[in-house]
Structure 1
């Protein structure tokens, strides 16, 4: 059974997913960024006549494959029937209850390190969340890798094309979501990993003002953008690998662009290579600074991370933890590095050398940036903070002896959307309450106080004992007090990329 609605550019027909839930898939929210529109800001899509069939997924952004070892929790992945990745990727998906009217809206910004992924990841079609909470669920694709985040010499606004795509998608939601039963004045933006970094960017962006009222961040923070020097070095190295100049980039095939991207770095090693630049339009400064100074005042924030974030990277790339010594020395000098490691060893004497270095990596990449985002926003709006502990179970013994592992990076998002037993079901209920009421206190949870820097109340989602703690792992947090650093790539690459 189909259902047709009128939006700004024409009519679109969706289909019923079951139980009175309808989905519209593959709706274009901007013109295809191909040909002359490659490395241009997103442009309006041309209006169409008749009814556009929107019952199949649009193509994800051009991207490499990033397989993980068998049995490891997958970060991203394309389902059967999904079109192959393509430059023509600016599509949005909407799932809504048939009876939706002025319903709350949840917009999902997908993960994947700004180099992989699609709007399908974790949320799938959004039907479970829409049915359980009466919400309208939106997901979309945006440009990735060099097509999304290459800074071109001589361009006035460059290096953040993927972020401009995200803003264009939010504008589309603002203009069109009422046609699907959603309320454009009750929009929550949610992302995990690169999606969470994107949420902070959107909170700080002057171009996104008024497009959403609430934000949820999983494994994020507001620090991961490219400095002018980082953007220049990556562009120079990318052009060197291609053997071309910036003025000829639009003549190169997509396959060759992707091959050059893979030549710089592949798999999880490339996770932090591509990122938005401060382009003077979508981003004017480091996002966490803008947020701390009140640039996102009034936006209610729910900030979460996983307890064992970077064990995912260590399992997939076994030299991950070995980078900690070098990166910390580059950031803080020898004395600062040694002080940091000593603080971790004193606070966690049961952790061995490898585990301590994974903990340092987790803190550098996700945990401390999440704390600082929550700290900064708490002076200007209501903030809620949480941590997902898991543990994950049923993993192969060959991967994890005993098959049980404390929750690693991005493993919270599936529970948020799909529900389940234990902590998964609790997070599902909490996010449902947050999206619909602005308060994540849901039935069955301990009382969850608002987050302030005075007590740092944090909900700990745990399969056996979900609880609230005040300033969890405080000695580890305090070890980073006063430390400032520029987010880099973690691994060293040829060409001086860092």
Structure 2
């Protein structure tokens, strides 16, 4: 029955693409990208689960209800509950023109982009994108898949998941185990397995990819037994499950944060969860806003995460799939400190400012007693304020992104999985006016090229023009990602060879010219993983204390 459905896929009704799924008919719209004749059929706001409201708040998602008449799938669904103003500020900061939907608790939808010239019965690789936003903001509209689908002849899916309090609140026990946002991602991947053939996709060739918190999500799905068999390759861009802040390190941390939520909400005592379930959508939104920049991390719930992600990786129990990960060369360059509203940034900095910042954001995992060790290593005797700022940016970028990514790559390599690593190094021209001159390749900058930014002409546009070199770079990166989705190996004709991340630690520099080299930040890696723990332990012994770094 499924085969017959897939062969009848993408009929036309009044010039619009039409797909019949097991839940009902969907009518989409046809898009195009610059520089290529292939059109793309897009289906927006496709439900992959029931609305997570009422009794399904703080509960695992359930399969969606069927519909009888043809469902129009031509508009974005609402984003999951979040601070919409914060999303507007982010879009403005990245110099993009994106329609920002309203927010709603009814938000478990996905968007699908499939090549318009697909031969009937042909099964194409599927690339499922998971958006970033610190697990507190973002939406499926952040990845408009028309250019990537057209240029790489793949089916692109962009999903949404519950965020903030509704997505990750946990009491550290069975009352509210948490990780509902991750369970939504699992549900979306199950939906893809059961339905993507109707859109020309191959359920046996699914790649998950995401950036920032989306990369954390990808890396988390790779270590979760709940996601086993739901995907076959994974790309984690600028985010992995073992980075600080987004995955709790202990039950105590989860309980501590749940008490903060309780105090803010006025829900205290044994009825905390029932009290939160009774709150309105607006009240939940207000709780999230009151928490400001404090993340609501995923929890080690014994189900999605049977144990801490790093332990799963060390025990070689993660899902066995080809794995790609990487970073930009200035992860903490501008966008993140701007969003975090760091005092004095992006102005020139003094050592005292650095000390204040490191102590102001405890979720970075830096104990005050370790601050001096970090300043000694990264800043030393520098007095020039601009150089101090650069050293600070490198320090936080290494701590939060680079070192965890390298460590994760080593775990996958040692487990025998084909592993590829990159460092993205190009500053996009679109940020020429909006970002200070000292910023290199900032957090998220590679996404402009992965998404095919220079070729988009639909609902996501970027202000400012790219030049021919950037167009070539975008085609190159889409080809690497597309090859990886097809075969688990990014290499192919016309591309600079990208060696696996093996014992020699080869990686690819992604710039206007690509270059294979090895041992990214080897000295910094040794500092964070060997030298700093030793110095910290010695410091604690001298003070008669014992704290795990």
TM-score range, shorter chain: 0.7 to 0.9
Matched, 1:416 2:450: yes
Name the structure 2 match of 1:429: 479
Q: Distance in 1 between matches of 2:391 and 2:296?
A: 27
Preserved contact between residue 222 and residue 319 of structure 2 (Cα < 8 Å): no
Report 1:289-328 matches (<5 A). Answer: 289-312=311-334, 313-316=336-339, 317-319=341-343, 321=354, 322-324=356-358
Structure 2 unaligned segments of length 5 or more: list them. 1-14, 33-37, 346-353, 455-468, 535-549
Question: Greater shift after overlay, 64-73 or 475-484?
Answer: 64-73
Name the structure 2 match of 1:11: 25
Q: How many residues align?
A: 471
Q: Distance in 2 between matches of 1:40 and 1:24?
A: 27
SS in 2 for 1:178: helix
Structure 1 unaligned segments of length 5 or more: list them. 486-498
Displacement of 1:78 in angstroms is 8.4
Name the structure 2 match of 1:388: 424
Q: Distance in 2 between matches of 1:395 and 1:248?
A: 45
Displacement of 1:70 in angstroms is 9.3
Report 1:82-93 matches (<5 A). Answer: 82-93=100-111
Q: Distance in 1 between matches of 2:210 and 2:39?
A: 26
Preserved contact between residue 204 and residue 287 of structure 1 (Cα < 8 Å): yes
SS in 2 for 1:311: coil
Preserved contact between residue 329 and residue 337 of structure 1 (Cα < 8 Å): no
Name the structure 2 match of 1:255: 282
Name the structure 2 match of 1:461: 510
Question: Greater shift after overlay, 319-328 or 387-396?
Answer: 319-328
Displacement of 1:425 in angstroms is 3.5
Compared CA separation, residues 348 and 304, structure 1 to 2 (3 A): farther
1:42 to 38, 46, 61: 61
Q: Distance in 2 between matches of 1:325 and 1:34?
A: 38
Question: Greater shift after overlay, 31-40 or 210-219?
Answer: 31-40
Q: Select the structure of larger CA radius of gyration.
A: 2
2:529 to 453, 474, 481: 481
Task: Please give the root-mean-square deviation of Cα atoms over the aligned residues, in Å.
Answer: 2.8
Preserved contact between residue 221 and residue 371 of structure 1 (Cα < 8 Å): no
Displacement of 1:145 in angstroms is 0.5
Q: Distance in 2 between matches of 1:5 and 1:286?
A: 41
Preserved contact between residue 16 and residue 29 of structure 2 (Cα < 8 Å): yes
Report 1:56-75 matches (<5 A). Answer: 56-64=75-83, 65-66=85-86, 67-68=88-89, 72-73=93-94
Name the structure 1 match of 2:465: none
Deviations 1:213-269 (A, max 9, x none): 10001111221312312211221111211212412212211111111211121xxx3
Displacement of 1:92 in angstroms is 1.2
Compared CA separation, residues 199 and 153, structure 1 to 2 (3 A): closer
Deviations 1:386-411 (A, max 9, x none): 011112345466851xx463111111
Q: Distance in 2 between matches of 1:393 and 1:205?
A: 38
Name the structure 1 match of 2:296: 274
Report 1:72-471 matches (<5 A). Answer: 72-73=93-94, 79-80=98-99, 82-98=100-116, 99=118, 101-121=122-142, 123-124=143-144, 126-152=145-171, 155=174, 158-223=177-242, 224-226=246-248, 227-245=250-268, 246=272, 247-265=274-292, 269-270=293-294, 273-312=295-334, 313-316=336-339, 317-319=341-343, 321=354, 322-324=356-358, 337-345=371-379, 352-380=387-415, 381-393=417-429, 395=431, 399-400=435-436, 403=437, 405-418=439-452, 420=454, 421-422=469-470, 423-452=473-502, 454-463=503-512, 465-471=513-519
SS in 1 for 2:112: strand
Displacement of 1:311 in angstroms is 1.7
Question: Greater shift after overlay, 21-30 or 327-336?
Answer: 327-336
Q: Distance in 1 between matches of 2:392 and 2:53?
A: 43
Preserved contact between residue 159 and residue 231 of structure 1 (Cα < 8 Å): no
Displacement of 1:346 in angstroms is 7.2
Q: Distance in 1 between matches of 2:68 and 2:264?
A: 44
Give the TM-score, by structure 1 length. 0.87
Question: Greater shift after overlay, 229-238 or 5-14?
Answer: 5-14
Displacement of 1:135 in angstroms is 0.3
Q: Distance in 1 between matches of 2:382 and 2:146?
A: 42
Q: Distance in 2 between matches of 1:332 and 1:110?
A: 27
Displacement of 1:206 in angstroms is 0.8
Displacement of 1:367 in angstroms is 0.9
Deviations 1:268-287 (A, max 9, x none): x34xx122111111111222
Compared CA separation, residues 150 and 78, structure 1 to 2 (3 A): farther
Q: Distance in 1 between matches of 2:18 and 2:430?
A: 43
Give the TM-score, by structure 2 length. 0.79
